Amino acid sequence: MYIVLLGPPGAGKGTQAQRIADATKLLHVSTGDMFRENVRNETELGKLAKTFMDRGELVPDEVTIKMLLERIARPDAEKGAIFDGFPRNVVQAVALEQALASNGGKVDHALLISVRDEELIARLGGRWMCRNCGRLFHERNDPPKQAGVCDACGGELYQRDDDRPEVVRTRLEKQKPPAELIGHYRAAGVLTEIDGEQSLDAVTAALLGALGMSAA
């Protein structure tokens, strides 16, 4: 099964993708995490991606699609995956579909998490991420047991550079799922929209419900 998770920055895609991957045992593929790993390792791809990420802009399609296709060509993606942060537009969606179709696969579900702008701005300001394992926390909605320390691995928590207020506004403007992308999945009959302003657990339950599963 292949699932794409759509939603504006701060809608909870990362957190929910982790939860759905745990519940379904599907591979979690986050293009944002892949770019951040490349930035950390100072690869050529990382250096290029950083110039866009720091401004809150999307990395060019050509670069992003190449990275994603290389990832899904690996054997652990054969049985399915949940895509978090990809596709961001129709060009990326079509590239994904063509790659999956070459192995007899398709996007089975597109789950759109909707949240209002005011709420997104409040959320992005309070986000903390583990430097070691990438797990996400939120000061208000999902705090770690001990401030600054990851519950999962004990790693150090930090705030992403692109969660700064001026960058947040650009990300919201440039990175909301475009109407054409939502329309693309609606026309394919695979779109489910979920209210992302419910509690984290309620959003997880709604997402699993859309996949025909119940929360454990």
Residues that bind ligand AMP (CB under 6 A): 9, 31-32, 35, 52-53, 57-59, 64, 85-86, 88, 92, 162, 171
CA proximity to 59, closest of 37, 31, 99: 31
Q: What are residue 113's phi and psi, to 5 degrees?
A: -95, 115
For the chain, helix, strand, coil in percent to 5 are: 45, 15, 35
Between the alpha carbon of residue 61 and those of residues 57, 64, 89, 104, 145, the distances in Å are 12, 5, 9, 24, 38
Closest residue to ligand AMP, judged by C-beta, is 32
State the nearest-atom distance from the C-beta of 99 to ligand AMP, in Å: 14
Cβ distance to ligand AMP smaller for residue 66 or 79: 66
Q: Specify the residue, 100 or 205, whose C-beta has the smaller distance to ligand AMP.
A: 100
Shortest CB 140 distance to ligand AMP, Å: 19
Q: 127 catalytic, yes or no?
A: yes
The gap from C-alpha 37 to its chain's centroid, in whole angstroms, comes to: 15
Q: Which is the catalytic residue, given 19, 36, 50, 127?
A: 127
Catalytic residues: 13, 88, 127, 160, 171
